[in-house]
Copies of this chain bind each other. A is one copy, B any other.
Amino acid sequence: MGSTYSEINGPRLLADLRTLARFGKEGQGVNRLSFSPEDIEARAWLRGRMRDAGLNTQIDGVGNVFGQTPNVGRTVLIGSHTDTVPNGGWLDGAMGVIYGLEIARAMIEAGSLRDGGVDVISFADEESTYVVTLGSRSFVGELADSEITEGKSIVGETLVAALERAGYAGSARAALDPGRHTAYLEAHIEQGPRLEAEGKRIGVVTSIVGMRGMEASFQGQADHAGTTPMRLRKDAGAALFAFAAEVTAAFEETSAADTVWNFGHVVFEPGAGNVVPRAARLLIEYRDPSEGVLDAMETAVLKAADRVNREGKVVAETHRSFSLAPVAMNPNLVQCIEDSARHYKAPAVRMPSGAGHDAMHLARHLPTGMLFIPSIGGRSHDIAEDTSEEDIVLGAQVLARAVEAILAA
């Protein structure tokens, strides 16, 4: 400790963010799908800005844009992603990358590299246009070669063709360097309404929640809804309603402070007003930082399905469509970000991240921390996504102080 801390340049940070938002501009938001012409141009621009900042740069074989502070032995790696979903927001992953650029640049300018510097990375295809979290999994060595050769976009272009087209194919793939990289930090907009609702300006992420997806299906029998007495029906829709009510009650009982769940999709077949539903399907997702809570929720789903089956009229089946384990952030980094927020008198709160981030993959390999700033109205993955400039600058300043504290420790 005891080192001097660099001040970041707020107007320069905002100008870079606004410039980046012009690549694929769509109203107030951005359309910048992985390896689209706009995304490829944005990567070239980003590499140029890194070079201007004094970093050694490369765009690697899967499209990661990587800038390293020269002449330092240890660095904090800061990054996120600059690709977007269709009609996405201008901040989303872009902000975490430009935070890294600004902090690296400010430290180089200030000459505060005594304890080390910052490496910056924009991970490719976090939004899964071709392959889910392509860049960060490549960087930590968790990407199978077959994922590159077999990857395809929704419109059918192969990943190999996209990398050729972008000019990235054949370049070396950047990799985590455990001797150099002491920690990974990722800043992101919250993508939810909690900070705004609670009047906080900084979210200190304690974990990225685990999540499970389940599909429940119900098989009954179609009957005339006028001529079939209630007691003689095998009503798949009514079974789904009773199941959802039972699961909801059990989730309310089981849930911890940060548990969330969603019944996002329902289908009744044949779906006519005068026909008793023959079949029904329900998508269930639930998330929590604790694997134990997720297990208890899954048990509740299975139990409700068993109850339907014991009644013997409708056949219920459930299956897990996906499962992601919770990932804890490093407690020292949590403390470090919180201390930095307190230094700037920024109202902060510890909270889980309810969405996935590249940090999930980094956290298995080096100490990892995340910082959130508020999303206005909780909006994200939408062109309406926004955050006040004051909050954007404050977040970068809090992260910058945390970086130098980590290096000095």
Interfacial residues, chain A to chain B (CB-CB below 8 A): 190-194, 197, 209, 211, 213, 223-230, 232, 235, 237-238, 241-242, 244-245, 248, 255, 258-268, 271-277, 283-285, 287, 321, 353-356, 378, 380-381
Contact = CB atoms under 8 A, between A and B. Distances in A.
A266 B237 contact: yes
Given A197-B232, A264-B277, A227 B272 contact: no
Identify which of A242, A274, A284, A380 gathers the most chain B CB atoms within 10 Å of its CB.
Answer: A274
B238 A248 contact: yes
Given A213-B273, A285-B274, A380 B227 contact: yes
Given A229-B260, A262-B274, A262-B275, 5 more contacts: A194-B228, A227-B354, A228-B378, A266-B266, A266-B271
A193 B228 contact: yes
A272 B284 CA distance: 10
Nearest to A271: B265
A381 B192 CA distance: 50
A405 B285 CA distance: 66
B273 A264 contact: yes
Nearest to A229: B194
A190 B378 contact: no
Contacts of A232: 192-194, 197, 378
**Which 3 A-B pairs give the minimum distances between C-beta atoms?**
A192-B227, A226-B354, A225-B262
B213 A226 contact: no
Contacts of A258: 229
27 contacts: A192-B226, A193-B229, A193-B232, A194-B229, A209-B226, A224-B354, A224-B378, A226-B260, A226-B287, A226-B354, A226-B355, A227-B353, A227-B378, A228-B260, A228-B378, A230-B255, A241-B263, A263-B277, A264-B271, A264-B273, A264-B274, A264-B276, A265-B268, A265-B271, A266-B268, A273-B284, A273-B321
